[in-house]
């Protein structure tokens, strides 16, 4: 017999009495569908949320290391992919609306919580959040799809490749698919490393490798159209099966990367091509051209 799925709940509460109450209401019978973990401070909760997966968070706004609605905002800013329910004292209507606007899925007033109310709030919060997240992701996916399709249309427009139009009539994707796929793979690595760099700091050598990529593309007589096709293919591959937050990171970092490499490619044209157009060299010509 398959064990039923347990809803993992993280409780951020420093009052032992309130912790015992929530534990009893959620996990006080053998048929309980919930697993509760409690911590007394926001900092400890952040550590857990970065290493473990939870379905919902219950949080008291009066903690030893954080106070008021700022607690909710900090929690959501750091972990906005999980629904949050606030445990609070009596609130005015304006304060209640403020909690919802700040991102809480629900709020429960201490002293007025029973088993049915708490469990219903937890279940509904998870379901509402899931539906809302799916809707937002669908909208973002549609927007990213429109951006990629727009880039594809630009790449096929005659004016988009005017800078290097006489370097070769066929796109690199058609002229040499193997080289094209290798460039797509390398571009995809740059996207992931750019995301990593934004979080953890500078990655040594990344900038020079990106510049070298643009130079190799230029040595292949690559057009802006070729770079755009590489960008679109790499983004599609990176976003495949990626979660919402990762797709957002890929989208933002890849756009910056495209602009950066396009600039290096333009610099390459000015430096090595000069005013006289060249024919596209064979795909094996990867080495940098020597000065005349």
Q: What is the pLDDT of residues 10-66, one digit of tens each?
A: 999 999 999 999 999 999 887 889 999 999 999 999 999 988 999 999 999 989 999
51-83 tens-digit pLDDT: 899 999 999 998 999 988 889 988 888 766 789
pTM, rounded to two decimals: 0.52
Q: What is the 3-class SS of the chain, one letter each residue? A: CCCCCCEEEEEECCCHHHHHHHHHHHHCCCCCCEEEEEECCHHHHHHHHHHCCCCEEEEECEECCEECHHHHHHHHHHCCCCCEEEEECCCCHHHHHHHHHCCCCEEEECCCCCHHHHHHHHHHHHHHHHHHHHHHHHHHHHHHHHHHHHHHHHHHCHHHHHHHHHHCCCCHHHHCHHHHHHHHHHHHHHHHHHHHHHHHCCCCCHHHHHHHHHHHHHHCCCCHHHHHHHHHHHHHHHHCCCCHHHHHHHHHHHHHHHHHHHHHHHHHHHHHHCCCCCCCCCCCCCCCCCCC
Model pLDDT for residues 278-291, shown as the tens digit of each residue = 444 444 444 444 44
**pLDDT, tens digit (0-9, with 9 covering 90-100), for 221-266:** 888 888 888 998 998 898 888 776 777 778 888 888 888 888 888 8
Given a cut of 50, whether residue 167 has pLDDT beyond it is no
| CATH superfamily placement of domain 7-131 | Response regulator (3.40.50.2300)
Taking the domains of the chain in order of start, what are their residue ranges?
7-131, 157-273
**Mean pLDDT across the chain:** 80
């Amino acid at each position: 017999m398959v064990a039923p799925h347990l809803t993992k709940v993280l409780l951020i509460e420093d009052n032992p009495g309130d912790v015992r109450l929530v534990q009893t209401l959620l996990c006080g019978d053998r048929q309980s569908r919930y697993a509760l973990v409690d911590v007394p401070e926001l900092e400890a909760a952040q550590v857990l949320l970065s290493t473990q997966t939870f379905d919902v968070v219950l949080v008291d706004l009066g903690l030893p290391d954080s106070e008021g609605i700022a607690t909710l905002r900090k929690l959501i800013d750091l972990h906005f992919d999980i629904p949050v329910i606030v445990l609070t004292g009596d609130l005015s209507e304006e304060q209640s609306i403020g909690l919802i606007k700040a991102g809480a899925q629900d709020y429960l007033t201490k002293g007025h919580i029973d088993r049915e109310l708490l469990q219903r709030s937890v279940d509904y919060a998870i379901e509402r959040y899931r539906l809302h997240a799916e809707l937002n992701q669908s909208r973002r996916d549609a927007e990213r799809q429109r951006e990629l399709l727009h880039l594809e249309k630009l790449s096929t427009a005659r004016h988009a490749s005017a800078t290097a139009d006489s370097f070769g009539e066929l796109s690199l994707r058609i002229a040499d698919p193997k080289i094209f796929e290798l460039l797509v793979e390398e571009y995809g690595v740059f996207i992931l490393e750019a995301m990593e760099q934004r979080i953890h700091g500078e990655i040594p050598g990344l900038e020079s490798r990106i510049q070298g990529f643009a130079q190799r593309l230029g040595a292949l007589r690559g057009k802006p159209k070729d770079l755009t096709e590489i960008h679109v293919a790499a983004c599609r591959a990176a976003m495949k099966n990626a979660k919402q937050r990762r797709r957002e990171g890929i989208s933002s970092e890849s756009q910056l990367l495209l602009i950066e490499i396009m600039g290096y490619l333009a610099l390459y044209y000015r430096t090595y091509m000069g005013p006289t157009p060249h024919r596209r060299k064979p795909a094996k010509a990867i080495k940098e051209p020597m000065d005349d």
